[in-house]
Chain A
Amino acid sequence: MEPFVFPKWTNSIKYLLLPGLLIGPLYVVALVAYGASPKTTDVGYMPTQPVPYSHALHAGQLGLDCRYCHSTVEQTAAAGLPPTQTCMNCHTGILNSSAKLQVVRQSHSDGMPVEWLKVHDLPDYVYFNHSAHVRRGVGCVSCHGRIDKMEVVYQDQPLSMGWCLDCHRAPEKHLRPLDRITDMNWKASDPVVEGRRLVEQMNIKPSTDCSTCHR
């Protein structure tokens, strides 16, 4: 019987071996690090809301303060979605027959809330508190981006654990005076000096213990 002989083309396999062994693990690492990161999977999430509400118009051009609608942001963990009544404060008089506001008027008359879709959704095992951040010098824009320029709100930042830790480990880069919290145009004149002064002044010591966020 003829002994088994490797066909000639198998010689070329050895040239694939080394790149395969190097690139294979690198590919897996890159896949986990970037492919499965919220930077890739979550940033840019922009669901179609039941009402074509424009933050660019209300918060941008009209200059409504964020806290007019998200009224519990300084007191509680959740920033709070405005009830329909908040919309109707103005829209009883303004554009009270616009087709775009049909869903809002419907909600106002039958008492059922508008079913807004949550854009910035953290996992259930993370305890994030808006008031703890907003009252210690972290501005809205730091996490939500330029909401005042968004026609439709989308997720601007990854909201990943590593992204949270970036700030918890170096808060001075992201702090602002408390009267500038909702100001999306504010820029520190000298971020390092200003930030350090605020850290000092407000005694900011963000914890990076697991139990800070995972309780």
Chain B
Amino acid sequence: MATMPLKNTMIDNTVEDPRQRAPLVLGNHDFTTVTETICRIPEASRPPQAWYIAFAVSSTLTLMLGCMVVYLISTGVGVWNLNNPVGWGWDITNFVFWVGIGHAGTLISAILFLFRQKWRTSINRFAEAMTIFAVVCAGIFPGIHVGRVWLAYWLAPIPNQMQMWPNFRSPLLWDVFAVSTYATVSLLFWYMGMIPDLATLRDRARTKIRQFAYGLLALGWRGSNRQWLRYERAYLLLAALATPLVLSVHSVVSFDFAVSQLPGWHTTIFPPYFVAGAIFSGFAMVVTLMVPAREFFGLKELVTPRHLENMAKIMLATGCMVGYAYSIEFFTAWYSGNVYERFIFMARAMGPYSWAYWTMVCCNILTPQLFWFKKCRTNPWILFAASIFINIGMWFERFVIIVSSLATDFLPGSWGAYAPSWVEICTFIGSFGLFFTLFLLFVRFLPMMAMAEVKSVMPQALHKQGEHQGLGDYWGDMPRGHEHKPGGHDVHH
């Protein structure tokens, strides 16, 4: 008589049960089915039709981005509506928006790793990919807004006949280093974490080309003990290196504003406020991408309601931090007694850009309050809708900070107004095209989830003692406590 395997699909893993850890993989999965579930996506001979439609749209938008950039460079920055006093508009708004989104990836992969948050295993690959693509989009805007892009190499400290050096006292230069370091480390982290999974794809490949391509990328991975040992060491080191970057990058981005003298920018609260906002927006973007992806690619048993709920909790926490920062900015402006500082905050709430300000407040402060309710934390589509609002709100936050402070500064005589030109709007839309194009290529050709890591948080990983524990060791020794009773014998329920 064959015994029916116990199905835990019906288990609600968002319920806390003090007797045991909630399972992070639902359904009747073992190592083989996890590999199958994830590998089948890049191994399919043809992606689903929806993929083609999405790719057609996003690559068209990418083409539009390319045209806008060429038009900008060939004609000059006048095709944007930037003016004096508003010298930064949608370009820098988009830059900060995309860099901010890029923060969730490293937070999930590095900080949650160091804190032994095992639920990260299902979403880290995905979030890291998102980070890299967001940083790619972010990098475009400061690159093209400098006017004469062919002189952009002046940003790098290269000895030259002009004896001209970047201004090391300027946060704009720190930004160049912060963002490029972040991009490099994120890329390394993402790629290195993918090596064992690329080897899996290589070993399963059925054509010469796929075998060669994945084989090249897998760098000769064989899965030996020695390789795993070094891999885990390297992973830990990279996580430790990447952790300060999560905090530093957006702190430095905030210095672009905080170090200047402009009312509304010149505040010490900016670095933590920006970091909280970045993590907030980053998680929102992960949810925006993950909810449709898990639905579409049949990954609901790997990205469970518990994963979604955890992300919602982080959004609630960081959303409240952001809300706190909004209110403390007003308090500081009032308490400082500085008329310019007071004025700019009144102008934000009631001036020409008040519509943007209140859009920001509604999206960023009110939306996450939904997550006090468990139903909203665990219902994917409510989460999805909320995450869209948060994305919108976080874009407006940067717009409000940048444009309102520039438009109405100290002297009424130098005030000005700004609205984007069609070129700026199309460039921004085009950057979404690029982001989704890269993302669609990623889900088509690379393993969307860290198979090896997901396996390490399954109960099966803990039934073996000794050298074959996979990543289990680095997740702390927590589950072994109840899986192995003192006295030695495995307890199978």
Q: Which A residues have a C-beta under 8 Å from some C-beta of B?
A: 1, 3-6, 28-29, 32-33, 36-39, 158, 160-163, 165-166
Task: Tell me the dominant secondary structure on chain A's binding face.
Answer: helix
* B-side interface residues, number (CB < 8 Å): 19
B164: CB under 8 A from chain A?
Answer: yes
Bound-complex Cα distance A28 to B216 (A):
28
Bound-complex Cα distance A189 to B216 (A):
69
Task: Tell me the dominant secondary structure on chain B's binding face.
Answer: loop
The one of B158, B161, B218, B220 in contact with A158, judged by C-beta atoms closer than 8 angstroms, is: B161
**Contact: B161 with A6, CB < 8 Å?**
no
**Contact: B206 with A32, CB < 8 Å?**
no
**Contact: B202 with A37, CB < 8 Å?**
no
**Contact: A33 with B159, CB < 8 Å?**
yes
Bound-complex Cα distance A162 to B162 (A):
4
A-B contact pairs, 21 of them (CB 8 A): A1-B205, A3-B202, A4-B202, A4-B211, A5-B215, A6-B215, A6-B220, A28-B158, A29-B159, A32-B158, A32-B160, A33-B159, A37-B160, A38-B161, A160-B161, A161-B161, A161-B162, A161-B163, A161-B164, A162-B162, A165-B163
**Contact: A33 with B158, CB < 8 Å?**
yes
Bound-complex Cα distance A122 to B218 (A):
54
Determine the chain B residues whose CB is within 8 A of the CB of A29 once the complex forms: 158-159
Bound-complex Cα distance A33 to B215 (A):
40
Bound-complex Cα distance A165 to B160 (A):
13
Q: Which B residues have a C-beta under 8 Å from some C-beta of A?
A: 153, 158-164, 202-203, 205-206, 211-212, 214-216, 218, 220
> Given that A1-B206, A3-B202, A4-B202 are known contacts, is A162 also in contact with B161, CB under 8 Å in the complex?
yes
Determine the chain B residues whose CB is within 8 A of the CB of A166 once the complex forms: 163
> Given that A6-B220, A161-B164 are known contacts, is A1 also in contact with B159, CB under 8 Å in the complex?
no
Closest to B159 in A: A33
How far is the CB of A4 from the nearest CB of chain B, in Å? 3
**Contact: A162 with B160, CB < 8 Å?**
yes
The listed residue with most A CB atoms (<10 A of its CB), out of B161, B164, B212, is B161
The listed residue with most B CB atoms (<10 A of its CB), out of A6, A38, A166, is A6
Determine the chain A residues whose CB is within 8 A of the CB of B215 once the complex forms: 3-6
Determine the chain B residues whose CB is within 8 A of the CB of A28 once the complex forms: 158
| Number of CB contacts from chain A to chain B under 8 A | 50
Determine the chain A residues whose CB is within 8 A of the CB of B164 once the complex forms: 161
**Contact: B203 with A3, CB < 8 Å?**
yes
Bound-complex Cα distance A1 to B205 (A):
9
Bound-complex Cα distance A125 to B343 (A):
41
> Given that A4-B214, A6-B220 are known contacts, is A39 also in contact with B161, CB under 8 Å in the complex?
yes
The one of A1, A3, A39, A160 in contact with B162, judged by C-beta atoms closer than 8 angstroms, is: A160
How far is the CB of A67 from the nearest CB of chain B, in Å? 31
**Contact: B212 with A37, CB < 8 Å?**
no
Bound-complex Cα distance A165 to B218 (A):
52
Determine the chain A residues whose CB is within 8 A of the CB of B163 once the complex forms: 161-162, 165-166
Bound-complex Cα distance A38 to B161 (A):
7
Determine the chain A residues whose CB is within 8 A of the CB of B159 once the complex forms: 29, 32-33
Bound-complex Cα distance A161 to B159 (A):
13
How far is the CB of A97 from the nearest CB of chain B, in Å? 47
Determine the chain B residues whose CB is within 8 A of the CB of A161 once the complex forms: 161-164
The listed residue with most A CB atoms (<10 A of its CB), out of B158, B203, B216, is B158
Determine the chain A residues whose CB is within 8 A of the CB of B203 once the complex forms: 3
Bound-complex Cα distance A38 to B163 (A):
12
The listed residue with most B CB atoms (<10 A of its CB), out of A3, A4, A6, A160, is A4
**Contact: B158 with A3, CB < 8 Å?**
no
Bound-complex Cα distance A5 to B220 (A):
7
**Contact: A33 with B160, CB < 8 Å?**
yes
Determine the chain B residues whose CB is within 8 A of the CB of A6 once the complex forms: 215, 220
Bound-complex Cα distance A98 to B153 (A):
54
Determine the chain A residues whose CB is within 8 A of the CB of B161 once the complex forms: 33, 36-39, 158, 160-163
Bound-complex Cα distance A61 to B170 (A):
55
Determine the chain B residues whose CB is within 8 A of the CB of A162 once the complex forms: 160-163
Bound-complex Cα distance A96 to B205 (A):
90
**Contact: B160 with A4, CB < 8 Å?**
no
How far is the CB of A105 from the nearest CB of chain B, in Å? 42
Closest to B157 in A: A29
Q: A29-B158, A161-B164, A162-B162 are in contact. List 18 more A-B contacts (CB 8 A).
A: A1-B205, A1-B206, A3-B215, A4-B212, A4-B214, A4-B215, A28-B158, A32-B158, A32-B159, A33-B158, A33-B161, A38-B161, A39-B161, A161-B163, A162-B160, A162-B161, A162-B163, A165-B163
Determine the chain B residues whose CB is within 8 A of the CB of A38 once the complex forms: 161
Closest to A41 in B: B161
The listed residue with most A CB atoms (<10 A of its CB), out of B160, B202, B214, B220, is B160
Determine the chain A residues whose CB is within 8 A of the CB of B202 once the complex forms: 3-4
How far is the CB of B199 from the nearest CB of chain A, in Å? 9
How far is the CB of B18 from the nearest CB of chain A, in Å? 46
Bound-complex Cα distance A162 to B214 (A):
50
Bound-complex Cα distance A200 to B483 (A):
87
Bound-complex Cα distance A38 to B212 (A):
47
Bound-complex Cα distance A158 to B160 (A):
13
**Contact: B211 with A3, CB < 8 Å?**
yes
How far is the CB of B227 from the nearest CB of chain A, in Å? 14
- 3 residue pairs, one from A and one from B, having the closest CB atoms: A4-B215, A162-B163, A160-B161
Bound-complex Cα distance A166 to B161 (A):
11
